[in-house]
A and B are shown apart, each in its own frame.
Chain A
Amino acid sequence: MNQDTAILVDHISKTFEIPHERRNTIREKVLEFRKKTFFEKYNALEDVSLEIKKGEFFGIIGRNGSGKSTLLKILAGIYSPDSGSVTVNGQVSPFLELGVGFNPELSGKDNIFLNGTILGLTFKEIEKKYPKIIEFSELEQFIHLKVKNYSSGMQVRLAFSVAIHANKEILLMDEVLAVGDSNFQAKCLTEFVNFKHQKKTIILVTHDLGTAQKYCDRIMLLRNGRNVLISNPKDAVSEYIMQNMSDEERRIYEKTQKKSVEKIIVDDINIDPVFIDKTAVVKAATIENIEFLDETKTEKNLFKTGDDLIIRIHFSKMEGVEELNFGVSIYSQEDYFIFGINTLFDKIDTRKIVQNGFCDVHYKHIGLGTNKYYVRAGIYEDKVEKLIDFVDQSTGYFQVQAFNLNTGIVHLDYEWA
């Protein structure tokens, strides 16, 4: 192995066999030996390879269940891979959880020694670092108190304090930042910068894409136990967001599919008069569905800031209806009213649209920030007050992603000077 490689992972796979009904006792095994045990095979990792250089800050991202933690546990030596090999060059301190082995019945001091030992320090080293550990945790006056009497914030502070003083050449961290208040998180991040300056190898599993982008040199994206890509942070995070969104899109699609199936069923058993919406009979028009399209008229749910967006309202109308008015409003998922338009105020002649059976609104270069948005749409007669039909967020969401770290729900054209 190359001298400046810290960790080399060579085509590892890991499968968990999850028995449907666990048989742990001999009686069960003997009495039910004829019954086949059904294992649910779960491929936590499939053929993952990577090489991490010394001094690198390496991020691992992916959805829940994508194998991030399993990979980390294999790197830490807790699990062994089914195939493939892992070579680690240097001492590892794994922080898969803060405060491993913490015993609530022991005092803070005892727990520093206990946790420190488990994290790989000798008594002598802990004694040497003890004043610093306490100072960092800011728990001087509570150190002889039992940990069970600590607040959860104090426990985390103590644990983190031990953890950063136990550091070795290679640090494995699993979501350590997910806990603690913003003060504490800021402290963690300062330590990360220190680690980086000390040229430590750090492997961080996280859901916080901002942190990942800010600190990592490279990021690996895992999906269903497979390595999707290893690249610079920007691309990996973008790819991850795109994946998440297309997952979301599929979910919405499946939901709407299901809905239309349900509708059919209701139509079939239309015996119960309660199901019949009496007002529907006299409605001049009904909004059937709302679609989000891109400029090529293909259905989409995710857009980048600056993309074109077309909102298409499908509706049905009664024979003989010649003229209708349409209103479309965009809301953010927090229910902020972003933007509303209607054909009446824009003085659009809708006679042609009415014959089409659908109505398109083409928004050019949407100036929306990263968020989820939904649409409320309505059909009116000649006046806005006279509502014929109306739909809101049940039609589904579309998402917008800004590919920079700007915040807020709108995107304004700007320039620094």
Chain B
Amino acid sequence: MSEAVLQDLDIRAGAAIADGPEWLEPVRRAAADRFAVIGFPAARDEEWRFTPIAPITRGIWRPSPGVAARVPADRLAPFIFGQAEWSTLVFVNGAYSEALSRVMDLPRGVLVGSLAEALRGDGAVLRAHLTRHAPMEGSSFTALNTAGFRDGGLVHVPAGLDLDRPVHFVYLTTADAEGTAIHPRNLIVVERGAHASVIESYVTLVPDAVYWTNPVTEVAAAAGSWLEHTRIQRESERAHHVALTQVDQQRDSHYRSFSMAMGGALARHNLHVRLNDENIETLMYGLYLTRGEQVVDNHTAIFHDQPNCRSWEVYKGVLDDRSRAVFNGKVFVRPEAQKTDAKQTNRNLLLSDWAKVNTKPQLEIFADDVKCTHGATVGRLDDVALFYARSRGVPKEAAERLLTYAFAAEVIEEVALEPVRNELDRLVLSRLEAQRGGGAAGQG
């Protein structure tokens, strides 16, 4: 069956596997072989227990078209934010669109562009990092991506440089994406002492299209580097999205992630961060807004391998209708990782009686001199706070929206880049207005 999937996706015989430099080919073949052996996760697999992947595993998917469909710029516009000097890489149904992308003046040596294009040149950066961080052994989805990826975003910031203009990867699907599987592959390498901000957006022009996005993003944060990495997942609410972000951090580096999920029938984001040296700081923030029968799953894993590191994680969810959220937060602290300071929080707000949350902190601590805490809550809007807002003249529905927004905004505030914060705010507000009876104007 796994072999059939590879055939359907044109991974065995197709162009993808032979595409790119020589060193990559055996890696891709090994990944395809790996997938052929392990197949998709079984229903009893603990890692996938609460994640209904049957629509993916039972579906028959075609490979995505290799060339970018034409999309008028004004249809892309609603998904673009930030400032004119930001670089934007646009991928239409997985293929890089030169016409829609815009790479601005960059400091000398900085690389921002399509991965496929960079692979034609085979730089040392790719050889050192591409497929070197995301392990395919344990994951079917990563193996499949590694075997089948065609393109993606690449950012390389050489040592000591400050890429003060953020880079935005936009993955846009059109009607042509219907029935296809897309395997975007992103690589972000921030060298010693360098700074960067990267945003990944997954958006669609067809809100009811059925497709499957299977992205893998590898991040290498070298010693003393600083990286803000935001992910905005707004796929079609009938699409499937299973993603891995794999981060390797070195000494004195600072990595901050914000993962926003509001799209997908099934959307899962695995965020794995390995702290390979001392004095590392890792901030992981997340927000998910679900409705209808959406299932949104966040699996995070942080590997404290070395002493004196700090990780701070806050994921919040707002669930409506019959939607469901899964949160699994793993924290591994190795025996040598003394003085680890790790805190994890998952808070959920239920707007409906039928929404459900499966939340599970999973701490495995083998060092004795550490500070590790975790907490999870599932609740409703606070009656007293609601009364407080209403007693100030705010009608009940608007007060509910205001407090729901406040709940979400508290984690959005943690994003360092202001235009990103504003965009996240806007997305939350517009979702709340769509959800709760047409906004304040509807109050009459």
Whether chains A and B associate is no
* B residues with CB within 8 A of A: none
